[in-house]
Amino acid sequence: MDNLIALLIAAPLLGAAVLLCGGRKLDKAGHWLGTLLAGASFVIGAVLFVDMLGRSADHRTVTKHLFSWIPVEGFQADVGFQLDQLSMTFVLLITGVGTLIHIYSIGYMEHDENRRRFFGYLNLFLAAMLLLVLADNYLLLYVGWEGVGLASYLLIGFWQHKPSAATAAKKAFLVNRVGDMGLSIAIMVMFTTFGSFAFSTVLGETGGASSGRNTAIGLMLLLAACGKSAQVPLQSWLGDAMEGPTPVSALIHAATMVTAGVYLITRSGAIFNAVPDVQTVVVIVGTVTLLFGAIVGCAKDDIKKALAGSTMSQIGYMVLATGLGPIGYVFAIMHLVTHGFFKAGLFLGAGSVMHGMNDEVDMRRYGGLRKYMPVTFVTFGLGYLAIIGFPGLSGFFSKDKIIEAAFAKGGTEGWILGAVTLLGAAITAYYMTRVMVMTFFGEERWKHAKTPAPDQPGVEPAAQTHGAHDEPHPHESPKSMTIPMIVLAFGSVFAGGIFGIGDRFVKWLEPVTSFDHGNSPVAEWTVTAATIVCLLIGVGLAVAQYGRKPVPAVAPRGSLLTRAARRDLLQDDFNHVVLVRGGEHLTRSLVYLDHSLVDGVVNGTAASVGGLSGRLRKLQNGFARSYAVSMFGGAVVIIAATLLMRAV
């Protein structure tokens, strides 16, 4: 059985290798091969899941040591896997959603000449992501960690001929690298502290290390998580990452990769539990991001960027939950899974809308689409209800639990966190209703589409090359695209209930992450009621603003906050001024200095030697008598020196 774990990763890896090295001959069958292997991985995952369920809760962890990777004196890095309930959850999510998105992409990417390469990258992503969640030590996790970063880079920049896509890809990789730096420093501290970076050693001996070291490890892991999960202050890349094809946004930048940070913190729970100060930082990061993402999501007119803001905000919820310690881990993961369903569904829905609208992404040019795309409307609508936490749907169960957990933290802290999460729920309801209303309801604004706004960022390439000037003819997407959406909609509706009712998910994960009810000052039903009230306020506001009044085709100037939110709360401007400009100046002046100073010192030495010899040359004047003078002078000096030495 445990050999299957390696196969789980090997299947998509093989797909990536074959598809990327295969050449044009595979163009016709490549997408089928990629989908098949992703599906195979899902089947293997399901088999392992059934096997795991068959065992008692204490014996569910399976480990498999594959081979010794880097054996160096005092440093043992192994390739080994650990499959427990936490990684199992991820495996099913990754391979399940991954397979669906493979199927979706068959239709979505049909007219792309590089579809084979796209599937190769998708398979590569699956392999790396599985490696990330299955690794039994931090170094191997790091391999998967950077592997998904690479896949994300390749996929964001898939349409490389667009400079904006290439830039976005580079930015994503770079920002992630800053996070990776955190992870590698964390591993170094672990190594010097525990002499190992295997989960078993590090997490088992946390108590033996000083709190200073644990704090360092915790903060560095948090930095890593911030990079990968687009948390403040490393969140700037996620919005730009929407330059990638929509299936990529759904799989990588909504359902799986961006949640890796949550996985990392949950996995390293023992370390975070040992240092409450770091947990406070985690909570702060989560809270700030939660609001940040939500505010940004409210202001964006680009449907994908609005959803990206939402993703950021939802992951903020998860990170906040992980910061609560054992009260929150389970719910963070639960929200992660349900979010994986509904957000992937929402993105696929957005992709479907764009597919029918000539790749238009500006919601101000949508409107009234429910008549033309019924399947998309229904599935998107269910996803929408799930994310805002409509009672009975997935998001209701998972988000409500996080809000409860926030209150359960206790003390002033608990009240503040609870209030913020409730506020977040209200804003979520607001911006998602806004998206919903602007897209599917109201006036059909695309009918009289005039010239497209030339400076609209993030317009997908097809929009620039063809069709933008023609009036779009919205139509439903092909089956290959709608079926995955329907499946995900099912997930969005029922997953929460399946997990939440009877605390099934809590019991499932408890052996790995441990669980604590906390002592909530507020009764459970009060929280639920408050959540529903917030939800209604948010929906009501959005309907009043966008449903009752016509939506202007050009965004109004808006308040200061709106304008800032449109520009990602000026974070990019800050980055640009401080990092990009500053960096350019630094490198330029260094290039100059290298030439003039470092090289100059050497060249200067050479020049002064040359100058000296030029001067010495003048002594050689050809007059025999002056030579004689120097000879006599020399002789006199030598004699004088000899006498002087004698005298001394």
Partner 1 sequence: MSFPLLTATAALPALGAIATAAVPAARRTAAKWLALLVSVGTLVLAAIQLVRFEPGGARYQLTESHAWIKDFGVRYELGVDGIGVALIGLTALLIPFIIAAGWHDADPLETSAGPDSSFAAGRWRPTQGFFALILAVEAMVVLSFEATDVFLFYILFEAMLIPMYFLIGGFGDRAHAQGDEAAATQRSYAAVKFLLYNLVGGLIMLAAVIGLYVVAGSFSLNEIAAARASGSLHMATNTERLLFLGFFFAFAVKAPLWPLHTWLPNAMGEATAPVAVLITAVVDKVGTFAMLRFCLQLFPEASKWATPVIVVLAVISIIYGALLAVGQRDIKRLVAYASISHFGFIIMGIFAMTSQGQSGATLYMVNHGISTAALMLVAGFLISRRGSRLISDYGGVQKVAPVLAGTFLIGGLATLSLPGLAPFVSEFLVLVGTFSRYPAAGVVATLGIVLAALYVLVLYQRTMTGPVKAEVQGMPDLKVRELLVVAPLIGLLIFLGVYPKPLTDIVNPAVRQTMSDVQKKDPNPVVEAAK
Partner 2 sequence: MNPVNYLYLAALLFTIGAAGVLIRRNAIVVFMCVELMLNACNLAFVCFSRLHGNLDGQIIAFFTMVVAAAEVVVGLAIIVSLFRSRHSASVDDASLMKL
What does residue 443 show for φ and ψ, rounded to 5 degrees? -70, 150
- In which residue are the tokens 């896509």 written? 165
Q: Evaluate whether 141 touches 221 at the Cβ level (below 8 Å).
A: no
Residue 256-285 contact track with partner 1, rule CB under 8 A, x = bound? ------------------------------
User: Exactly one of 122, 134, 187, 408 binds partner 1 (CB under 8 A); which one?
Assistant: 187
Sign, CA torsion 521/525/528/530: negative
Of 50 and 624, nearer to partner 2 (C-beta) is 624
Burial class of residue 297, CB neighbours in 10 A (0-12, 13-18, 19+): buried
Q: Evaluate whether 303 touches 351 at the Cβ level (below 8 Å).
A: no
- Beta-carbon contacts of 531 under 8 Å, excluding residues fewer than 6 positions away, are 389, 396, 399, 400, 403, 422, 425
Amino acid at 430: Y
- Beta-carbon contacts of 618 under 8 Å, excluding residues fewer than 6 positions away, are none
Sign, CA torsion 216/217/218/222: positive
Smallest distance from the beta carbon of 635 to partner 2, in angstroms?
A: 9
Smallest distance from the beta carbon of 3 to partner 1, in angstroms?
A: 18
Of 56 and 210, nearer to partner 1 (C-beta) is 210
For the record, the structure tokens of 641 come out as: 């020196």
Q: Which does 632 bind (CB under 5 to 8 A by kind): partner 2, partner 1, none?
A: partner 2
Q: Which does 590 bind (CB under 5 to 8 A by kind): partner 1, partner 2, none?
A: partner 1
User: Exactly one of 118, 121, 138, 142 binds partner 1 (CB under 8 A); which one?
Assistant: 142
Burial class of residue 514, CB neighbours in 10 A (0-12, 13-18, 19+): middle
Burial class of residue 366, CB neighbours in 10 A (0-12, 13-18, 19+): buried
Of 181 and 281, nearer to partner 1 (C-beta) is 181
Of 525 and 623, nearer to partner 2 (C-beta) is 623
User: Exactly one of 157, 340, 383, 389 binds partner 1 (CB under 8 A); which one?
Assistant: 157
- Beta-carbon contacts of 367 under 8 Å, excluding residues fewer than 6 positions away, are 438, 439, 440, 441, 442, 443, 444, 445, 446, 551
Residue 68 in contact with partner 1, rule: CB under 8 A: yes
Restricted to residues 598-637, the positions that interact with partner 2 (CB under 8 A) are 617, 620-625, 628-629, 632
User: Exactly one of 210, 465, 620, 621 binds partner 1 (CB under 8 A); which one?
Assistant: 210
Residue (of 162, 147, 332, 339) closest to 250 by Cα position: 339
Of 150 and 270, nearer to partner 1 (C-beta) is 150
Residue (of 129, 51, 59) closest to 93 by Cα position: 129
Smallest distance from the beta carbon of 627 to partner 2, in angstroms?
A: 9
Smallest distance from the beta carbon of 616 to partner 2, in angstroms?
A: 10
Residue 75 in contact with partner 1, rule: CB under 8 A: yes
Of 164 and 480, nearer to partner 1 (C-beta) is 164
User: Exactly one of 74, 552, 614, 622 binds partner 1 (CB under 8 A); which one?
Assistant: 74
DSSP tag of 197 = -
Q: Which does 523 bind (CB under 5 to 8 A by kind): partner 1, partner 2, none?
A: none
Smallest distance from the beta carbon of 597 to partner 1, in angstroms?
A: 9
Q: Which stretch binds partner 1 (CB under 8 A): 31-39, 150-158, 261-269, 468-476?
A: 150-158
Smallest distance from the beta carbon of 114 to partner 1, in angstroms?
A: 8
Smallest distance from the beta carbon of 184 to partner 1, in angstroms?
A: 6
Q: Site for partner 1 (CB under 8 A): how many residues? A: 62
Q: Which stretch binds partner 1 (CB under 8 A): 201-209, 286-294, 386-394, 544-552?
A: 201-209
Residue 166 in contact with partner 1, rule: CB under 8 A: yes
Burial 530-540 (b: 16+ CB within 10 A, else e): bbbebbeebbe
Q: Site for partner 2 (CB under 8 A): how many residues? A: 10
Sign, CA torsion 240/245/246/249: negative
Restricted to residues 9-28, the positions that interact with partner 1 (CB under 8 A) are 20
Smallest distance from the beta carbon of 611 to partner 2, in angstroms?
A: 16
Cβ-based neighbour number of residue 205 at 10 Å: 14
Q: Which stretch binds partner 1 (CB under 8 A): 39-47, 164-172, 484-492, 551-559?
A: 164-172
| 79-to-58, 102, 189, 611 alpha-carbon distances in Å | 24, 28, 20, 63
Q: Evaluate whether 240 touches 177 at the Cβ level (below 8 Å).
A: no
Radius of gyration over every alpha carbon of the chain, rounded to an integer in angstroms: 31
In angstroms, rounded to a whole number, what is the distance separating the alpha carbons of residues 171 and 237? 6
In angstroms, rounded to a whole number, what is the distance separating the alpha carbons of residues 433 and 531? 16
Of 160 and 526, nearer to partner 1 (C-beta) is 160
In angstroms, rounded to a whole number, what is the distance separating the alpha carbons of residues 13 and 521? 49
Smallest distance from the beta carbon of 23 to partner 1, in angstroms?
A: 9
Of 557 and 617, nearer to partner 2 (C-beta) is 617
Q: Evaluate whether 314 touches 431 at the Cβ level (below 8 Å).
A: no
Smallest distance from the beta carbon of 245 to partner 1, in angstroms?
A: 15
Cβ-based neighbour number of residue 110 at 10 Å: 13
Residue (of 318, 288, 295, 337) closest to 403 by Cα position: 318
In angstroms, rounded to a whole number, what is the distance separating the alpha carbons of residues 519 and 515? 13
Restricted to residues 212-241, the positions that interact with partner 1 (CB under 8 A) are 213
Restricted to residues 380-399, the positions that interact with partner 1 (CB under 8 A) are none
Q: Which does 247 bind (CB under 5 to 8 A by kind): partner 2, partner 1, none?
A: none
In angstroms, rounded to a whole number, what is the distance separating the alpha carbons of residues 347 and 367? 17
Of 103 and 175, nearer to partner 1 (C-beta) is 175
Of 99 and 152, nearer to partner 1 (C-beta) is 152
Residue 167 in contact with partner 1, rule: CB under 8 A: yes
Restricted to residues 567-626, the positions that interact with partner 1 (CB under 8 A) are 583, 586-588, 590-591, 594, 598-599, 601-602, 606
Binding site for partner 1 (CB under 8 A): 20, 67-75, 139, 142-143, 145-147, 150, 153, 157, 160-163, 165-167, 169-170, 173-174, 177-178, 180-181, 184-185, 187-189, 191-196, 205, 208-210, 213, 583, 586-588, 590-591, 594, 598-599, 601-602, 606
Binding site for partner 2 (CB under 8 A): 617, 620-625, 628-629, 632
